Amino acid sequence: MEDFLRFVSSRYSIRSYDSEKQVEQEKLLRVLEAARFAPSAANRQPWKIMVVTSVPVLEKLHLAYPAPWFAKANTVLIVKGDISQAWTRNRDGYNSINSDLAILMTHILLAAHAEGLSTCWIEAFDKEMLCEALSLKETEVVCAMTPIGYHPEGEKLIRPKSRKELDEIVEWM
Ligand SMILES: Cc1cc2nc3c(=O)[nH]c(=O)nc-3n(C[C@H](O)[C@H](O)[C@H](O)COP(=O)(O)O)c2cc1C
Protein backbone atom coordinates (compact mmCIF):
# COMPACT_ATOMS: atom_id res chain seq x y z
CA MET A 1 0.00 0.00 0.00
CA GLU A 2 2.84 2.41 0.78
CA ASP A 3 4.18 1.75 -2.71
CA PHE A 4 0.77 2.53 -4.15
CA LEU A 5 0.54 5.82 -2.24
CA ARG A 6 4.01 6.77 -3.42
CA PHE A 7 3.01 5.86 -6.95
CA VAL A 8 -0.22 7.88 -7.10
CA SER A 9 1.30 10.87 -5.33
CA SER A 10 4.18 11.00 -7.80
CA ARG A 11 1.94 11.41 -10.86
CA TYR A 12 1.75 14.95 -12.18
CA SER A 13 -0.01 16.66 -15.04
CA ILE A 14 2.76 17.38 -17.52
CA ARG A 15 2.49 20.37 -19.81
CA SER A 16 5.71 19.96 -21.75
CA TYR A 17 6.37 17.37 -24.45
CA ASP A 18 9.25 16.29 -26.62
CA SER A 19 7.79 16.45 -30.13
CA GLU A 20 10.67 14.35 -31.54
CA LYS A 21 10.36 11.37 -29.22
CA GLN A 22 7.70 8.76 -29.98
CA VAL A 23 6.07 6.53 -27.39
CA GLU A 24 7.18 2.94 -27.87
CA GLN A 25 4.35 0.81 -29.27
CA GLU A 26 4.70 -1.84 -26.53
CA LYS A 27 4.33 0.81 -23.82
CA LEU A 28 1.31 2.28 -25.55
CA LEU A 29 -0.28 -1.15 -25.84
CA ARG A 30 0.25 -1.84 -22.14
CA VAL A 31 -1.41 1.47 -21.28
CA LEU A 32 -4.37 0.62 -23.50
CA GLU A 33 -4.54 -2.86 -21.97
CA ALA A 34 -4.71 -1.33 -18.48
CA ALA A 35 -7.54 0.91 -19.69
CA ARG A 36 -9.43 -2.18 -20.85
CA PHE A 37 -9.70 -3.38 -17.26
CA ALA A 38 -11.43 -0.23 -16.02
CA PRO A 39 -14.78 -0.88 -14.34
CA SER A 40 -17.99 0.47 -15.85
CA ALA A 41 -21.62 0.50 -14.80
CA ALA A 42 -23.18 -2.92 -15.51
CA ASN A 43 -19.88 -3.71 -17.27
CA ARG A 44 -21.23 -2.06 -20.40
CA GLN A 45 -17.80 -0.73 -21.44
CA PRO A 46 -19.47 1.97 -23.58
CA TRP A 47 -16.13 3.43 -24.63
CA LYS A 48 -13.55 3.79 -27.34
CA ILE A 49 -10.02 5.12 -27.07
CA MET A 50 -8.82 7.05 -30.10
CA VAL A 51 -5.05 7.02 -30.56
CA VAL A 52 -4.20 10.07 -32.63
CA THR A 53 -0.80 10.36 -34.32
CA SER A 54 -1.92 11.65 -37.71
CA VAL A 55 -0.58 15.18 -38.17
CA PRO A 56 -3.73 16.63 -39.84
CA VAL A 57 -5.90 15.31 -36.99
CA LEU A 58 -3.42 16.52 -34.35
CA GLU A 59 -3.57 19.95 -35.95
CA LYS A 60 -7.36 19.97 -35.57
CA LEU A 61 -7.02 18.92 -31.92
CA HIS A 62 -4.58 21.75 -31.36
CA LEU A 63 -7.11 24.20 -32.79
CA ALA A 64 -9.74 22.87 -30.37
CA TYR A 65 -7.29 23.27 -27.46
CA PRO A 66 -4.80 25.94 -28.52
CA ALA A 67 -2.26 25.73 -25.69
CA PRO A 68 1.30 26.07 -27.09
CA TRP A 69 2.59 23.13 -25.02
CA PHE A 70 -0.18 20.88 -26.36
CA ALA A 71 0.96 21.61 -29.92
CA LYS A 72 4.20 19.74 -29.12
CA ALA A 73 2.39 16.48 -28.40
CA ASN A 74 2.86 13.92 -31.17
CA THR A 75 0.43 11.39 -29.68
CA VAL A 76 -2.93 12.15 -28.12
CA LEU A 77 -5.38 9.70 -26.57
CA ILE A 78 -9.04 10.61 -26.64
CA VAL A 79 -11.63 8.86 -24.54
CA LYS A 80 -15.04 8.84 -26.14
CA GLY A 81 -18.22 6.92 -25.43
CA ASP A 82 -21.65 6.15 -26.71
CA ILE A 83 -24.49 7.28 -24.44
CA SER A 84 -26.81 4.69 -25.99
CA GLN A 85 -24.47 1.90 -24.86
CA ALA A 86 -24.00 3.13 -21.29
CA TRP A 87 -26.04 1.98 -18.32
CA THR A 88 -29.11 4.02 -17.40
CA ARG A 89 -30.70 4.05 -13.97
CA ASN A 90 -34.39 3.13 -14.35
CA ARG A 91 -35.58 5.20 -11.45
CA ASP A 92 -34.54 8.60 -12.82
CA GLY A 93 -32.90 8.08 -16.19
CA TYR A 94 -29.38 8.95 -15.00
CA ASN A 95 -26.81 7.80 -17.57
CA SER A 96 -23.40 6.58 -16.38
CA ILE A 97 -21.39 7.59 -19.46
CA ASN A 98 -19.39 10.38 -17.82
CA SER A 99 -18.45 8.26 -14.81
CA ASP A 100 -17.49 5.32 -17.02
CA LEU A 101 -15.29 7.46 -19.25
CA ALA A 102 -13.63 9.25 -16.34
CA ILE A 103 -12.59 5.91 -14.83
CA LEU A 104 -11.19 4.78 -18.16
CA MET A 105 -9.15 7.99 -18.40
CA THR A 106 -7.91 7.53 -14.84
CA HIS A 107 -6.62 4.07 -15.72
CA ILE A 108 -4.85 5.57 -18.72
CA LEU A 109 -3.15 8.28 -16.65
CA LEU A 110 -1.99 5.87 -13.97
CA ALA A 111 -0.84 3.20 -16.43
CA ALA A 112 1.09 5.82 -18.39
CA HIS A 113 2.75 6.95 -15.18
CA ALA A 114 3.72 3.35 -14.46
CA GLU A 115 5.38 3.28 -17.90
CA GLY A 116 7.28 6.51 -17.21
CA LEU A 117 5.13 8.42 -19.68
CA SER A 118 3.72 11.90 -19.23
CA THR A 119 0.06 12.83 -19.58
CA CYS A 120 -2.31 15.68 -18.85
CA TRP A 121 -6.07 15.28 -18.61
CA ILE A 122 -7.64 17.93 -20.87
CA GLU A 123 -11.26 19.00 -20.87
CA ALA A 124 -11.03 22.74 -21.56
CA PHE A 125 -11.33 22.17 -25.29
CA ASP A 126 -13.81 23.67 -27.72
CA LYS A 127 -16.37 20.88 -27.74
CA GLU A 128 -17.87 21.66 -31.13
CA MET A 129 -14.49 21.88 -32.83
CA LEU A 130 -13.39 18.61 -31.27
CA CYS A 131 -16.59 16.73 -32.18
CA GLU A 132 -16.24 17.95 -35.74
CA ALA A 133 -12.56 17.02 -35.92
CA LEU A 134 -13.39 13.49 -34.78
CA SER A 135 -16.63 13.16 -36.81
CA LEU A 136 -18.52 12.01 -33.73
CA LYS A 137 -21.98 10.47 -34.05
CA GLU A 138 -24.92 12.12 -32.30
CA THR A 139 -24.88 9.61 -29.44
CA GLU A 140 -21.13 9.89 -28.90
CA VAL A 141 -19.46 12.12 -26.33
CA VAL A 142 -15.85 12.96 -25.62
CA CYS A 143 -14.89 12.88 -21.97
CA ALA A 144 -11.32 14.08 -22.19
CA MET A 145 -8.10 13.83 -24.10
CA THR A 146 -4.49 13.57 -23.02
CA PRO A 147 -1.16 13.88 -24.72
CA ILE A 148 1.00 10.87 -23.99
CA GLY A 149 4.73 11.05 -24.36
CA TYR A 150 7.99 12.23 -22.93
CA HIS A 151 8.85 15.51 -21.30
CA PRO A 152 11.92 17.22 -22.75
CA GLU A 153 15.21 16.17 -21.19
CA GLY A 154 16.01 18.01 -17.99
CA GLU A 155 12.48 19.28 -17.49
CA LYS A 156 11.78 19.65 -13.79
CA LEU A 157 8.87 17.37 -13.02
CA ILE A 158 8.52 17.38 -9.30
CA ARG A 159 6.55 20.23 -7.79
CA PRO A 160 4.60 20.45 -4.56
CA LYS A 161 1.36 18.50 -4.66
CA SER A 162 -1.43 20.85 -3.74
CA ARG A 163 -4.18 18.84 -2.12
CA LYS A 164 -6.75 19.42 0.62
CA GLU A 165 -6.04 17.68 3.88
CA LEU A 166 -7.91 14.49 4.75
CA ASP A 167 -9.98 16.19 7.45
CA GLU A 168 -11.21 18.68 4.85
CA ILE A 169 -12.52 16.03 2.47
CA VAL A 170 -13.62 13.14 4.68
CA GLU A 171 -16.85 13.06 6.61
CA TRP A 172 -17.09 10.18 9.07
CA MET A 173 -20.66 9.20 9.78
C1 LIG B 1 -11.74 16.76 -15.22
C2 LIG B 1 -10.38 17.38 -15.41
C3 LIG B 1 -10.19 18.34 -16.40
C4 LIG B 1 -8.93 18.90 -16.60
N5 LIG B 1 -8.76 19.78 -17.63
C6 LIG B 1 -7.54 20.30 -17.85
C7 LIG B 1 -7.30 21.14 -18.97
O8 LIG B 1 -8.18 21.39 -19.79
N9 LIG B 1 -6.05 21.66 -19.14
C10 LIG B 1 -5.02 21.38 -18.28
O11 LIG B 1 -3.92 21.88 -18.49
N12 LIG B 1 -5.21 20.56 -17.21
C13 LIG B 1 -6.43 20.01 -16.98
N14 LIG B 1 -6.62 19.14 -15.95
C15 LIG B 1 -5.49 18.79 -15.05
C16 LIG B 1 -5.65 19.40 -13.66
O17 LIG B 1 -5.42 20.79 -13.72
C18 LIG B 1 -4.69 18.70 -12.69
O19 LIG B 1 -4.99 17.32 -12.64
C20 LIG B 1 -4.78 19.29 -11.29
O21 LIG B 1 -4.36 20.62 -11.26
C22 LIG B 1 -3.94 18.49 -10.29
O23 LIG B 1 -2.57 18.45 -10.69
P24 LIG B 1 -1.81 17.08 -10.92
O25 LIG B 1 -2.57 16.29 -11.99
O26 LIG B 1 -0.44 17.47 -11.36
O27 LIG B 1 -1.80 16.33 -9.62
C28 LIG B 1 -7.85 18.53 -15.75
C29 LIG B 1 -8.05 17.54 -14.79
C30 LIG B 1 -9.27 16.95 -14.64
C31 LIG B 1 -9.43 15.83 -13.63
Q: For the domain made up of 24-150, give the CATH fold.
A: NADH Oxidase (3.40.109)
Supply the pLDDT for residue 48: 98
Give dist(CA 18, CA 50) in Å, integer. 21
- Among 65, 123, 126, the mutation site with the greatest number of ligand 1 atoms within 8 A of its Cβ is 123
pLDDT in tens, 80-123: 999 999 999 999 999 999 999 999 999 999 999 999 999 999 99
- Among 7, 108, 118, 121, the mutation site with the greatest number of ligand 1 atoms within 8 A of its Cβ is 121
Nearest one of 90, 11, 81 to 40, comparing CA atoms: 81
Secondary structure (3-state) at 79 = strand
Exposure string (b/e) for 5-38, b if CB count within 10 Å is 16 or more? Answer: eeeeeeeeebbbbbeeeebeeebbebbeebbeeb
> Could you tell me if the CB of 87 is within 6 A of ligand 1?
no
DSSP state of 122: B
- The vertex-131 CA angle with 77 and 134, nearest 5°, equals 55
Give dist(CA 134, CA 80) in Å, integer. 10
> Could you tell me if the CB of 143 is within 6 A of ligand 1?
no
Q: For a pLDDT cut of 70, what percent of the chain falls above it?
A: 97
> Could you report the average pLDDT of every consecutive run of 10 residues in the chain (173 residues)?
93 95 98 98 98 97 98 98 98 98 98 97 97 94 97 72 95 98
Q: What is the mean pLDDT of the chain?
A: 95
- Ligand 1 centroid from CA 112, angstroms: 15
Q: What is the pTM of this model?
A: 0.96
> Could you tell me if the CB of 103 is within 6 A of ligand 1?
no
The residue whose CA has the least distance to atom 28 of ligand 1 is 121
- Ligand 1 centroid from CA 43, angstroms: 27
Nearest one of 58, 14, 51, 11 to 29, comparing CA atoms: 51
